[in-house]
Structure 1
Amino acid sequence: MLKILNLIPMSDIKTDQKYLVKSAFLNLAGTALKVIAPLLMIVVARVFDKALFGVYVSTQLWVLTMSRVAVLGLDKGLHRYIPQNIVQGRDRFEGIMESVKRTVLFSVILTAAVLIAAYFGLHKLSSGLAMLSSTEISIYILSLVPWSILHIFAGASEGNRNPQYKIFINDFAVSALAPVIGLVLFYASFPQTLALPVGLFFANCLGVVCYLYLIRKQFPEMPWRPRKGLSKDLLNYSIPLGFSEVVTSFLLRMDLWMVLALLGPEAAGIYAVMVTISNGLKTIRQSYNPILLPVVAGMTPERLKTDLKPVFSYCVSMVTLIQLGIGFFIVLFPEQTMMIAGKSFITEENPVAVLGILMIGNLINGMFGLAGPVINGLGRSKFMLLMNVVSLVFAIAMNYLLIPRLGIAGAALSSMGYQILQAVWMNIYVYRMIGFWPYKWTLWIQGIWIALLTALYVVLNNGFEPGLLTKGVFYGIALLLILATFYFQGLGGKNPKKNR
């Protein structure tokens, strides 16, 4: 039987296209659900003290970054290791519980270290966290263990070609439940400073409970207790990815942390709302990483020449069109978008135009950032680590120079700047690796759309003030034209075609 499996190609263009189309529509459904979590976070910003909200967002992101450290890239390694189990004649489930065991061990050690530091009040050495008591910072770090387990189970499900579980649990359910539980506790007269971290902890625990059922459903023969140690092959493949992921986690959050450190928690609260809104675009692009990467990794050198361009361009088309639909609303109605969080989040010192800068940076990343999973899929994870380290140094320097001079607008410009740097660098590297640009010529339409949206942003922020009705009509026309682009590029009813 093993000989027969070795003779059968793991994938072909038709199989890949069906998987991409299915995953694309799952992502569309997930995108609709993901809107709920940022809206709930904005409700939290209205209910809770502005400074407390800024600290909550920053500390939550810090715990998330710590969870990436604890995982060591094993969740990303499972993207490749799970499919390889069948090819190598191993148990289908090998690597899952071994990864859980190692991750739990590291996350418990990190949790204990933070609890000890909190007991002695060492967290108060950070000006941004000084307002948190030892009890509050301790409750935040308790989310580390369940959050780390969520990463592993999501990686195993994606490796088993079930990306919907991560979309609906990690990206939606957990992120939506955390503010809901926090709000319920707040209105139940729970201490305001404890309601949000307790909500975060219980949301992550509920996510783990859901995965216990789903992992059992996918791998019914898997014992919960691993029979052997973690595979060296899996560990060696995962560690470079893990380092890169940790650096990326710091990179994605550096602007918010530096706003907190340089401008204080109130400015961080204002910027956190803008980041929360604009991250709706970023998560759309990020959600395609685990979809595109295993497809590229399964291509032979011959298939790369014929099949990479159509599947890559399909993903780029889907990402940019979804982002454009959201981006036009943000550019046309920035005040209304920010007003959801309350009038106090719109000030002369921190204009809503900052939201547009963040949005444009994420659009550029959506159009050109998918070169990243192509590079990882071709086994060049060391390049991604190098690029992320250089980008982190660049982002720190830019934030340090611009935030004191321009406020949160400087943080937004720094965010856009490192995304442009990465886009240029990654695409040049991909071209040098494969010898051609992976973009189909039809993507020039998406490029024009992004240019038009950028031009609209510039016009609206230089004195031109149309009425709300005019903006509404313009947005409706833009949506119809985006849908027309979707239809005529064959992204819905037909599979993407290969270039000939």
Structure 2
Amino acid sequence: MISTSGIGFIFRLFGLGTSFLATMLISRLFSVGVFGNYSLAFTIAQATALVFALGIPSALVKIVGNNSYTYLQAKKLLIKGLKITLVFSIVPVMFFFFGAGFLSETIFKSDVLSNYFVVICLVLPLFIFHELFLFFFISVKKFKLYNVFMFGLPNLLLLAFLYLFYILKMPEHYTFIAFAISMLIVVITEAFMVFEIKPKTVDTPLSSGALVKTAWPLLFSGLMLYLLNWTDLIMLGMMVDEDEVGIYNIAYKIGTLGFLVIVTVNIIMMPKMAELYGKGDLSGLKKFIHKSTRLIIFTTVPIVAGIVGLSSYILSFFGEEAIAGKSTLIIISAGILFSAMCGNTDQILNMTGNEKVFRNITVVCFLANISLNYLLIPVYGINGAAIASVATNALLNVISLFYMKKMLGFYTFA
């Protein structure tokens, strides 16, 4: 686990580095306000993609692991997922195309966001396909391909197109067009890596209907979990100016460096947990989770301590305006440290047949998050959004630990 996680850790560091470089390019070459608009459009596109991926990406990992599918069987399942999501993606594409003006002017009170929403129409199917390919690589344990297509190629392409459009003096929404073009190239490359010109025929015992049924609870829990982390940004977009949105997102991006180990280990854990649970090896599952949680805690603590200690210095790389997000960064970092100490409770429940329980937990926490953001943002601004995010993530972890003990008989740490 350490060996595989180490490679993933290096790729994730590279991905974070290039992601921060993209943030700096947009913030410095365009403006912090443009980065705020880009962040808002990206968040809305990603949330919509999660909905219309129908939970199938996570279901791929669970089904392949629980049933010990071969590579060809897993690929057949992927094809079914691609066909299903392609049909359903028509709905949001039409919504954003015809509703771009209304969303921009009425909901977000902006006269420039409409161009971003039109670009979302182009990027949505690509975003969904990208998610399916990534989780397919996880399900068949091709972690190197996952790392390349998650952290390597997309970020390098984004940087290249951002700089090109800056040189060409293109309008601000071309920052998001740069992302769309990057996604197109990545998805084409992923398809080339997975599919042959003359594919081999193989049957999978799972029908398309059964795939959707298995994925359904994972859809809601995945969406709610995503919104728990990004509802604050969306609500900030409706309640404060674009500069504050940009500062908050910079602080959040830096704070999530603390998630570096959590997410990296989680990618390794998901297929292994599904496999152990599918075999009925609860003793092996318990040992694996305990070792993973200790690894997460020991490696996350120094990262979070470094972020807090160097918060002003790190923020200064993104411009003098960004230093205003120091207290926000410290709040977010504290919440991430608590999450690390609890372990990967979300995927443990999802991969062990308790996805409906976790779905219900995320719905409760999502409603709590909206309420806290609504109450705290008008009073404390971006710090209020950070407090709301940390509080609801803590609530989610505590409830998940309770149900993990109840359903599986053990905690992540003992």
TM-score, scaled relative to structure 1: 0.76
How far apart, in 2, do the equivalents of 1:59 and 1:167 lie? 24
The answer as to 2:367 corresponding to 1:386 is: no
The answer as to 2:293 corresponding to 1:316 is: yes
Shift of 1:312: 1.0
Give the residue type in structure 2 aligned to 1:413.
I
How far apart, in 1, do the equivalents of 2:12 and 2:297 lie? 13
Q: Is the 8 A contact 2:228 2:392 kept in 1?
A: no
The match for 1:407 among 381, 384, 387 is 381
The match for 1:113 among 95, 115, 119 is 95
Q: Is the 8 A contact 2:104 2:111 kept in 1?
A: no
Count the aligned residue pairs.
412
The match for 1:303 among 262, 266, 281 is 281
How far apart, in 1, do the equivalents of 2:173 and 2:206 lie? 38
How far apart, in 1, do the equivalents of 2:270 and 2:204 lie? 29
- Where relative contact order (Cα < 8 A, 6+ residues apart) is larger, the structure is 2
Q: Is the 8 A contact 2:89 2:124 kept in 1?
A: yes
Determine helix, strand or coil for the equivalent of 2:129. helix
The match for 1:209 among 185, 188, 191 is 188
Q: Is the 8 A contact 1:364 1:420 kept in 2?
A: yes
| CA 71–439 in structure 1, closer or farther in 2 if over 3 Å, else same | same
Which consecutive unaligned segments of at least 5 residues does structure 2 have? none
Tell me what 1:356 maps to.
330
Deviations 1:224-282 (A, max 9, x none): xx999952221111111012112222221011112222222111111011011112223
Give the residue type in structure 1 aligned to 2:194.
I
TM-score, scaled relative to structure 2: 0.91
Q: Rg: which structure is higher? A: 1
Q: Is the 8 A contact 1:289 1:370 kept in 2?
A: yes
Q: Summarize the alignment of residues 29-428 of structure 1 with structure 2, pairs less than 5 Å apart.
A: 29-40=10-21, 41-83=23-65, 91-118=73-100, 121-127=102-108, 130-132=110-112, 134-191=114-171, 193-216=172-195, 221-222=199-200, 231-299=208-276, 303-304=281-282, 306-347=283-324, 350=325, 352-428=326-402
Q: Is the 8 A contact 1:51 1:265 kept in 2?
A: yes
Deviations 1:384-425 (A, max 9, x none): 111111111111111111111112111111111111111111
Determine helix, strand or coil for the equivalent of 2:89. helix
Deviations 1:95-127 (A, max 9, x none): 111111111222233112211122x54432112
How far apart, in 2, do the equivalents of 1:418 and 1:273 lie? 20
| CA 131–53 in structure 1, closer or farther in 2 if over 3 Å, else same | farther
Determine helix, strand or coil for the equivalent of 1:288. helix
Shift of 1:83: 4.6
Give the residue type in structure 2 aligned to 1:29.
I
| CA 340–43 in structure 1, closer or farther in 2 if over 3 Å, else same | farther
How far apart, in 2, do the equivalents of 1:260 and 1:113 lie? 20
Determine helix, strand or coil for the equivalent of 2:169. coil
Of 238-247 and 24-33, the range deviating more from structure 2? 24-33
Give the residue type in structure 2 aligned to 1:345.
A
Q: Is the 8 A contact 2:93 2:120 kept in 1?
A: no
How far apart, in 2, do the equivalents of 1:339 and 1:73 lie? 39
Normalized per residue, the structure richer in helix is: 2
Which consecutive unaligned segments of at least 5 residues does structure 1 have? 1-19, 441-500
Q: Is the 8 A contact 2:9 2:260 kept in 1?
A: no
Shift of 1:436: 2.8
Shift of 1:222: 4.6
Shift of 1:85: 6.5
| CA 126–83 in structure 1, closer or farther in 2 if over 3 Å, else same | same
Give the residue type in structure 1 aligned to 2:340.
G
Determine helix, strand or coil for the equivalent of 1:31. helix
| CA 57–293 in structure 1, closer or farther in 2 if over 3 Å, else same | same
Q: Is the 8 A contact 2:26 2:32 kept in 1?
A: no
Shift of 1:173: 2.9
Give the residue type in structure 1 aligned to 2:44.
W
| CA 146–87 in structure 1, closer or farther in 2 if over 3 Å, else same | closer
Shift of 1:90: 8.3
| CA 286–220 in structure 1, closer or farther in 2 if over 3 Å, else same | farther
Determine helix, strand or coil for the equivalent of 2:276. coil
Q: Is the 8 A contact 1:31 1:284 kept in 2?
A: no
Q: Is the 8 A contact 2:26 2:34 kept in 1?
A: no
